[in-house]
Amino acid sequence: MGRPSSRRRAQADALLHGTARLAAVGAGLLVVLMVLFLALEAAPVLHATGPLRFLTDRGWYPTQGRFNLGPMLVGTTLAAAGALFLAGPLGLLSAVFCCFYAPPRLAALYRRMLELLAGTPSVVFGLWGLVVLVPLINRLHPPGASLLAAILILALMVLPTLALTVEAGLRAVPTEYLQAAAALGLSRWTTVSQVALPAARPALIAGVILATGRALGETMAVLMVCGNVVQVPRGLFDPVRTLTANIALEMAYAQGSHRAALFVSGLALAAAIVFFVLAAEFAERRTRHV
């Protein structure tokens, strides 16, 4: 290889670096563009009423100029938190099952099933929830369409995202670790809990963040089972409305300041997610120091 070739190689490297950086920044800019778009659409009503009224108004009656988003923020948070509370352990165990417990054939089958579950349209989840789950809960405690139903459906929907991400992380744990664990005679569960899972921590965190994003942003399925009443729930059986359901339910029929107020819901959601992402990052940094 002569000199010119090595220069061309350096150019190729520079090009690669440039392309990668551009793509990354471009992808990052998408969210800026989106928030900008939301803000632009929400501006009229924010300008007219001021942001505070979205927390202090009496109820959400946008056609009457009452825009309280507070209960929906609570609903969104509760539904997402509940879903994660359920899907977290189950997803983790599913991933562990795939990597360490199931025979290879079964593991492949199970992984395929998780992929299918991840790709099942939310409408199908919603439909199943509406026709099967809600009547069941209704028998337990009316009206059936409730926070509990939303949590269950959401948990089912975020579980595959979480499980597959963690599973990919577990599979990437260096073989040496596991062999060392085996050499020490550690039991399977000890290996999983003390060696593999800590080694796969970045994937775990990524999975939780992705799953939370999905839980916060899921629209159609939640809308079909959560009851959609704008209120702060007093129990698991009370109906709630999430911010996303609010947008999906009313956007098609909203005009003027009502429409703009729905974009404020979108902005509020974006803010909630930003808050969560920062909190997760903070928590991660804290645990890393320990």
CB of 231 to other proteins, least distance (A): 10
Asked whether the beta carbons of 153 and 124 are under 8 A apart, the reply is no
**Given the complex with other proteins, which of 81 and 229 has the nearer CB atom?**
229
**Is 55 or 113 the residue whose CB approaches other proteins more closely?**
113
Q: Which is nearer to other proteins, 48 or 113 (CB)?
A: 113
Rank residues 184 and 232 by Cβ distance to other proteins and give the closer one: 184
Residues in contact with other proteins, shown as a per-residue x/- string from 229 to 268 under the rule CB under 8 A: xx--------x-x-xx--xxxxxxxxx--xx------x--
Give CA–CA dist 11/16, Å, rounded: 8
Burial state string for 202-228 with b = 16 or more CB within 10 A and e = fewer than 16:
ebbbbbbbebbbbbbbbbbbbbbbbbb
Min dist CB 11 to other proteins, Å, is 10
CB closer to other proteins, 119 vs 290: 119
What are residue 67's phi and psi, to 5 degrees? -120, 40
The dihedral through the CA atoms of 195, 197, 200, 205 has a sign that is negative
201 binds other proteins (CB under 8 A): no
Q: Of residues 111-170, which lie at the interface with other proteins (CB under 8 A)? A: 112-125, 127-128, 130-132, 134-135, 138, 142-145, 156, 159-161, 163-165, 168-169
Q: Which is nearer to other proteins, 74 or 230 (CB)?
A: 230
Residues within window 2-61 making contact with other proteins, judged by CB under 8 A: 9-10, 12-14, 16-34, 37-38, 41, 59-61
Stretch that binds other proteins, among 42-50, 67-75, 188-196 (CB under 8 A): 188-196
Shortest CB 137 distance to other proteins, Å: 10
Strands, E assignment, the chain: 60-61, 66-67
The neighbouring-strand residues paired with 60 are 67
Task: Convert 21-86 into a string of H (helix), E (strand) and C (coil).
Answer: HHHHHHHHHHHHHHHHHHHHHHHHHHHHHCCCHHHHCCCEEHHHCEECCHHHHHHHHHHHHHHHHH
- Residue 95: both structure tokens together: 């991933």
Which C-beta is closer to other proteins: that of 44 or that of 120? Answer: 120
In the region spanning residues 76 to 115, those forming contacts with other proteins, defined by CB under 8 A, are: 89-90, 93-94, 96-97, 99-102, 104, 107, 110, 112-115
- Residues 66, 54: contact at Cβ < 8 Å? no
265 and 72 Cβ atoms separated by less than 8 Å: yes
Count of residues touching other proteins (by CB under 8 A): 146
Nearest approach in angstroms of CB 15 to other proteins is 8
Strand partners, 61: 66
Contacts of 288 (CB under 8 A, 6+ apart): none
Query: Please, what is the minimum distance in Å from the beta carbon of residue 52 to other proteins?
Result: 20
